[in-house]
Amino acid sequence: MVHEIYAVKFAEYVGTRGGYFFNAPADAHETPWPIDYFVWLIRGEEGDIVLDAGFSAATARKRGRTHLRSPADGLRLLGVDPATVPLVILSHFHYDHVGDLGPFETARFVVQDREMAFWTGRYASRAEFRHVVEVGDLHDLLQANYDGRLWFVDGDEELFDGVEVHLIEGHTPGIQAVRVATAAGPVVLAVDASHFYANIEGDAPFAILHSLAGMYAGFDRLRRLAGRHGTIVPGHDPEIMRRFEPVPGLEGIAVRIA
Ligand SMILES: [Zn+2]
């Protein structure tokens, strides 16, 4: 079954190349490197599926990010009512992906076993891990679990005909990419398994990682998942807004990936 895919931009920031690429040369810490924050809409016969929940204005203020609109408001511009979305796939538990679950009042959330285990486990509070999550977001996820609203997966799984999640371990222990069947062929939404085109195209690991070998393996995985005719879409690249067609009337806000 084929699906449509849209990227909705809700926030932006300008970091540095050195801050984003593993083992970058010293002068790269002076090179500005813009980053965009997206939520993704996958539209098919089974209803609207959202990939990732973004983060709130409060988290944006705390972390100095420019919050352009709430992820929910971005989705509303595409005619989606977040309160009735049945399913939200959460790629991983970093603050910029699980930081605004509230508007998805009735959704179930698809999470990897390993991601939940890690962020409720032994090493989650250590500084280099702690600073990329908000504990309040983890509270929300625990509440969702006890409310029976989590759909746990372990590894690779087909959620619906034409929508699959794939465990890619490098950036976090349980990060999952999503492969979607579209009229233009398979599209692999890499999320943070490749933040930028420069990661996957340059075989260049991102600076924040759980496993360096896992990240390289993840690049290989993404390429295999896309195959010869598929498209890999990175998770945070501002280039996405230029490479794909804007949704009419939503220029600079939403593009149609397929
Ligand atoms: Zn991210």
Instruction: Return the CATH number at 199.
Output: 3.60.15.10
Quick check: helix, strand or coil at residue 128?
helix
pLDDT for residue 169 is more than 90: no
Task: Tell me the CB-side half-sphere exposure of residue 94, using CA atoms within 13 A.
Answer: 21
Q: Identify whether 216 is part of a domain.
A: yes
Cα 97 to ligand 1 centre (Å): 6
In whole numbers, what is the pLDDT of the chain averaged over residues? Answer: 97
Q: What is the pLDDT of residues 74-133, one digit of tens each?
A: 999 999 999 999 999 999 999 999 999 999 999 999 999 999 999 999 999 999 999 999
Dist. CA 82–CA 107, nearest whole Å: 8
Q: Is 253 a domain residue?
A: no
Residues linked to residue 256 through DSSP beta bridges, in sequence order: 6, 245
256 found inside a domain: no
CA of 87 to the centre of ligand 1 (A): 20
Q: 132 C-alpha vs ligand 1 centroid, how far in Å?
A: 9
Q: How far is the CA of 84 from the centre of ligand 1 (A)?
A: 25
Of all residues in the chain, what percent are helix, strand and coil, respectively (each to 5)?
30, 30, 40
Contact 201, 191 (CB under 8 A): no
Query: What is the span of the domain harbouring residue 126?
Result: 4-246
Q: How far apart are CA 212 and CA 200, in angstroms?
A: 14
How far away, in angstroms, is 50 Cα from ligand 1 center? 15
Quickly state the pLDDT bin for 25 (edges 50, 70, 90): very high
The answer to the question of residue 252 being in a domain is no
Give the tens place of pLDDT for each residue, 30-71: 999 999 999 999 999 999 999 999 999 999 999 999 999 999
Residue 241 placed within a domain: yes
- Sequence-distant (6+) residues with CB within 8 A of 125 are none
- Cα separation, 109 vs 45, whole angstroms: 19
> What secondary structure letter does DSSP report for 29?
G
Interval between CA 192 and ligand 1 midpoint (Å)? 5
| Centre of ligand 1 from the C-alpha of residue 194, in Å | 10
pLDDT at 1 over 90: no
251 in any annotated domain: no
**CA distance linking residue 179 with residue 193, whole number of Å:** 13
**What is the predicted pLDDT for the residue at 89?**
99
Tally the domains of the chain: 1
Tokens of 17: 């190349």
